[in-house]
Structure formats: structure tokens, C-alpha cells
């Protein structure tokens, strides 16, 4: 039934620890969302590909998994169904299917419901607990406010909460340790490109620090902190929200990301910058989804720019040799 894709399968392997940990934190909600999203996503692609006499790609399994993990834990099932169908049909299949879409389907579907149902998703967070049972020892001190919401309230989340994932947020974005392990696995197996991951996170960190030290970040007064503390807070700001999760899984999408090494650095820098701009100056607490869509828009253009520069240098070198 499925078109075999080894790279997509390795992405799924890397998601297993993240998925298991999300079930540990949120219990049956993850399973219910997964059942709805995988059923609707696979069915949507099957209907679209059947018309072209093609098989369903294993990439849709990755799209469904990433979409589920990007949702708030208590997101309504019907909203999840709308989002994945929108992502698969209009973001992917409408452009011709796998390999032809210019936008990441998972992030496109996530952004669509984020803009369409903001008031519902804004209250869909919950305190993580052992299989969804909030209040268990070790997590009872947490509140349902996400780390980014805490920043806006002038509170600084603890590093241990961010590293271990014991804090409110989207289903799969919580544990930095697990995401770091997934990144290492995908880089070693050549499933993901290190330039895309590192440039996104480095750019996000640099601009987070600039906005903190200049007093632009809401809720943070730089006069209360030393330079070292501001560097540390910037690190916590990058560890908060979904930028780490998206840097590992969304930015590295081989279809919607650029291919040239130079353009990959610029692409990641754009995503990191736009994420921090939206977090700092807009009403949205998170800006990674917007940043990736903007990055997707310029991906082919960046490849074209650096291709022309390379061609121009080649012509000059040939002209010198002839002379």
C-alpha cells in the first residue's frame, strides 16, 4: 500500500522516543489524536493518489506524526482532523504530491488551524503528568502556562524542566534531551542536514540575546540581570516553545528546504530571526510556524541565488585560465 522511503522511515524511528515520552506525559489524549490524524491523513492521501494511480507515500506517516506532536494535548479531535486534511490535500497533494510541495504539510496544517481556531487552541494546554495524570509528585509545581507564556509574565522557566520536558507545551516539543538525541541520530544517519538545524538554533539564540539585552523582550528587564545571566536567559528562551522541535524535524524537510549549503545557512538564519521577531513583537507567543512557512517560500529562491553566484565564479575562473 505504501511507497517505500528509507529516509522517511528513519525519521519515524527517531520519533519513537519522543512519541513514547509524550504518551507518558499526556496519556490517552496522544493516542486519540494519533488515531484520528493518521486515519484522516492516510485516507486523504489515498483518495488523492488513487486518481493518479500512485501509492500512498511513507512520508504521510511522518507528516501525521509531526502534526500530532505539534498539537496542544487537549486539542479537539475534529480540529486535528481538519488540520491534517488541509495539510495533506491542499499543502501537499494540490501541488502534485510528494516531492512537489513547496511548503511543509505538517506545519502548513498546524498553522491553518492555529489561525482558524486560535481561541480554542489557546486553552488546550495542560499540566503534564504520568500518563496524563496531572499533580503527580515531580510535576505538581508546574502550571498550565507554557514557558513562553511564563516569559511574558516576567517569570523564568527552570532549565531542568525544559531539558526533561516536564512543562506545558505542544505534545512533542517538551524534552530537549530527546530532541537532541533525535537530531544526533538523524545527522549521523544522514537523514537530516546539520546546517539547517545549527543555523536555525544559532540564529534564534543570537536574536533572542539581542532582544533580551536591549530590553525589547516583553516581561524581561535587562537592568536586573548581568551579561552572563542574559546569555543564560537567551538559552532558556530558545529551549522554550517549539523552535528546537521544528529545527530538528520541520526545517530539515528535504522537500521544502533548500539544497545548496550556503542557502541552507541563510534559510536557517531566516527561520531563527523571524521566530524571535514574532515572539517579541507580535501578539502570538510563538512564531516558529510562521517562520518556517516564510522560509519555505524563499527556499528555491535561495538555491537560485547561490547557484548563479557559483556559476559566475566558475565563468571567471575559466576566463582567467584561458587568458
pTM (two decimals): 0.91
If you average pLDDT over residues 156-163, what whole number do you get? 93
Residue 269: CB atoms within 10 Å: 18
Residue 252 has pLDDT above 80, yes or no: yes
Check residue 138 and give its pLDDT.
39
Q: What is the mean pLDDT of residues 76-95?
A: 96
- pLDDT tens profile 261-271: 999 999 999 99
* pLDDT at residue 312 in the model: 55
Task: Say yes or no to pLDDT of 140 above 70.
Answer: no
Q: Specify the pLDDT at position 112.
A: 97
pLDDT at 294 over 90: yes
Check pLDDT > 90 for residue 139.
Answer: no
Domain regions of the chain by residue span: 2-308
Comparing 94 with 307, which gets the higher pLDDT? 94
Identify which of 163, 159, 174 has the alpha carbon closest to the alpha carbon of residue 233. Answer: 159
Mean pLDDT of the chain: 90
CATH for 2-308 is: 1.10.3430
Amino acid at each position: 500500500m505504501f511507497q517505500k522511503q528509507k529516509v522517511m522511515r528513519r525519521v519515524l524511528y527517531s520519533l519513537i522516543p519522543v512519541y513514547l515520552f509524550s504518551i507518558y506525559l499526556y496519556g490517552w489524549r496522544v493516542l486519540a489524536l494519533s488515531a484520528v490524524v493518521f486515519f484522516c491523513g492516510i485516507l486523504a492521501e489515498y483518495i488523492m493518489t488513487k486518481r493518479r494511480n500512485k501509492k500512498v507515500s511513507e512520508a504521510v506517516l511522518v507528516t501525521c506524526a509531526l502534526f500530532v506532536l505539534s498539537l496542544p494535548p487537549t486539542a479537539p479531535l475534529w480540529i486535528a482532523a481538519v488540520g491534517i486534511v488541509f495539510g495533506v490535500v491542499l499543502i501537499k497533494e494540490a501541488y502534485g504530491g510528494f516531492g512537489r510541495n513547496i511548503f511543509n504539510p505538517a506545519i502548513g496544517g498546524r498553522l491553518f488551524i492555529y489561525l482558524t481556531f486560535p481561541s480554542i487552541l489557546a486553552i488546550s494546554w495542560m499540566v503534564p503528568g504520568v500518563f496524563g495524570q496531572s499533580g503527580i509528585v515531580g510535576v505538581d509545581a508546574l502550571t498550565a502556562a507554557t514557558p513562553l507564556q511564563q516569559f511574558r509574565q516576567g517569570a523564568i522557566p527552570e532549565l531542568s524542566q525544559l531539558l526533561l520536558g516536564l512543562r506545558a507545551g505542544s505534545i512533542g516539543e517538551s524534552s530537549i534531551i530527546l530532541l537532541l538525541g533525535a537530531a544526533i541520530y538523524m545527522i549521523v544517519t544522514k537523514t537530516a542536514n546539520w546546517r539547517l538545524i545549527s543555523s536555525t538554533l544559532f540564529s534564534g539564540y543570537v536574536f533572542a540575546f539581542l532582544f533580551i539585552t536591549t530590553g525589547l523582550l516583553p516581561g524581561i528587564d535587562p537592568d536586573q540581570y548581568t551579561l552572563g545571566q542574559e546569555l543564560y536567559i537567551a538559552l532558556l528562551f530558545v529551549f522554550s516553545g517549539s523552535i528546537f522541535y521544528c529545527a530538528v524535524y520541520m526545517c530539515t524537510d528535504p522537500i521544502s528546504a533548500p539544497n545548496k549549503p550556503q542557502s541552507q545557512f541563510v534559510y536557517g538564519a531566516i527561520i531563527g530571526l523571524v521566530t524571535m521577531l514574532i515572539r517579541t513583537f507580535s501578539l502570538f507567543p510563538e512564531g516558529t510556524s510562521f517562520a518556517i512557512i516564510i522560509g519555505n517560500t524563499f527556499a528555491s529562491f535561495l538555491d537560485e541565488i547561490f547557484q548563479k553566484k557559483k556559476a559566475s565564479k566558475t565563468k571567471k575562473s575559466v576566463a582567467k585560465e584561458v587568458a
